[in-house]
Amino acid sequence: MSLPPPPTLLDLDIVLPIFVGIAVLTSSFRLVDRVRTARFGWDDGVCFLSLCIMLIMIVFFYLIVQPPPEATQFTQIFAYYAGGMCFHGVVWTARISILLTYVRIAAFSVQKRALASLAVLFAGLLLFLYGEMYWICEHETGWKEFHPPQCDLGKGRAITEICFDVFADITLVVVPVWLLSKSSMDKAQRMRLLLLFSTSFLITVVSVVQDVIVFIAGGIREIFASMLEDAFSLTICSVPVLVTSLYRIFSKTKKDLDVDTPKPPTLVTGTRYVSTKRTKRSEGTTIESVSEDSKDTTKRRDLSTYRNSFTAPSLIREEEENDGSNGHAQPSAPMPPEPVDKGYDVVTILHTV
């Protein structure tokens, strides 16, 4: 297999800054748009972290490939360690950002927890790569005497990176298919998932190319390929948000594709719809409660009427005047209530009757 030629000064000073500039511009546009529309989330925060690591890596990259005359050996060794950590940091934070975007689209809490667990696993794999790099390079310290210094990580390290990259890329490609099969999404959410699927596939292609170069070539080719992979990963990470923002701005229908999926109550109801069974049950409960309340109110009203009629002074006075002599006599007209003595209460009246 023929390897590409080593990067020239034109590649380092023109080609690489162009790709890095595109990555910085797309990420900055994404972050500004999310802040302006009040949609800044965890995925955007991780994207901002990836952008900061990318800017730091540019400094260490040129300290490695074009060290200034006053740079000491310790400075170049530190630049190599920092550059290697920044390279993996940009790639894996871009992947974590895509996973957290899936979390925002996922319909069910079970899916959200599973995707969040995968994001934590990705962070753990990144820390493992940091630890492996430090252990290998500190175990064999002869590389620190080279100019410029570069640690030989060996084939085992390359195999580890390939395995981790394959696992991460397969995960990013399979997740949107899983989300589409487990929920009923509208057209906007499906289009957004397809965009993320396409970007995940592009990241897979770029990472495979970089892994092949690391496994076979190494040296300056490896560093240059790593920078290009970082630039592509950061750009691809922001492409879905860029596309949805442009669609929202220039679309005649003014339809927004960048809308988070609300959390439904159950796994059966889908993404946008509430269970009709639950709604009917709740409506029936409400109607029954209202009818029971009205019945209770009617009963209370009837009972109060009965009590008032029983204890009305006019009826009591009429009953005392008749004294039971004329049971069929017509009741007299109601008389105005008279004041009752303080010691003459209802209990006394009942005993008298």
Assess whether pLDDT exceeds 70 at residue 57: yes
Is residue 63 within 8 A of residue 164, CB to CB? The reply is no
Backbone φ, ψ for residue 135 (5° rounding)? -65, -45
Whole-angstrom distance, CA of residue 99 vs CA of residue 230: 17
Neighbours of 146 (CB within 10 A): 14
Do the domain assignments include residue 174? yes
Q: Are residues 328 and 188 in the same domain?
A: no
The better pLDDT of the pair 318, 57 is held by: 57
How remote is the C-alpha of 10 from its chain's centroid? 42
Q: Are residues 83 and 220 in the same domain?
A: yes
The predicted-structure confidence for 214-264, as pLDDT tens digits, reads as follows: 666 666 677 777 788 888 888 888 887 887 777 777 665 555 555 555 554
Do the domain assignments include residue 287? no
Q: How many domains does the chain have?
A: 2
Q: Are residues 353 and 232 in the same domain?
A: no
Do the domain assignments include residue 278? no
Q: For residue 190, what is the domain's CATH number?
A: 1.20.1070.10
DSSP assignment of 120-162 equals HHHHHHHHHHHHHHHHHHHH--GGGGSSS-----HHHHHHHHH
The better pLDDT of the pair 70, 274 is held by: 70
Of 250, 267, 290, the domain-final residue:
250
Q: Are residues 44 and 173 in the same domain?
A: yes
Backbone φ, ψ for residue 16 (5° rounding)? -65, -45
Q: Are residues 108 and 193 in the same domain?
A: yes
Q: Are residues 325 and 226 in the same domain?
A: no
Q: Under 8 Å CB-to-CB from 273, ≥6 apart: which residues?
A: 184, 264
Q: What is the pLDDT of residue 230?
A: 86
| Residue located via tokens 């190494």 | 218
Its sign, for the CA torsion 168, 172, 177, 181, is positive
Of 224, 250, 276, the domain-final residue:
250
Look up the domain containing 196 and give its range.
Answer: 9-250
Lowest-confidence region among 30-34, 35-39, 328-332:
328-332
- Count of alpha carbons within 13 Å of 249, Cβ hemisphere only? 8
Q: How far is CA 61 from CA 17, 74, 76, 93, in A?
A: 12, 15, 10, 19
Q: Are residues 159 and 61 in the same domain?
A: yes
Of 205, 228, 250, the domain-final residue:
250
3-state secondary structure of 73: helix
Do the domain assignments include residue 45? yes
Tokens of 50: 């990836």
Q: Are residues 189 and 333 in the same domain?
A: no
The predicted-structure confidence for 190-218, as pLDDT tens digits, reads as follows: 666 666 666 666 777 777 776 676 666 66
Do the domain assignments include residue 86? yes
Q: What is the pLDDT of residue 279?
A: 43
Q: Are residues 83 and 204 in the same domain?
A: yes
Region 72-89: mean pLDDT is 88
Q: Are residues 233 and 340 in the same domain?
A: no
Tokens of 320: 């005392």
Do the domain assignments include residue 281? no
Average pLDDT, the chain: 71
- Count of alpha carbons within 13 Å of 126, Cβ hemisphere only? 19
Q: Are residues 108 and 189 in the same domain?
A: yes
Tokens of 225: 């390929």
Burial of 232-253, coded b for 16+ CB within 10 Å and e otherwise, reads bbbbbbbbbbbbbbebbeeeee
Q: Are residues 241 and 320 in the same domain?
A: no
Angle, helices 109-139 vs 73-105, to 10°: value is: 170
> Among 117, 227, 208, 121, which residue's Cα sits nearest to residue 166?
208
Whole-angstrom distance, CA of residue 40 vs CA of residue 260: 11
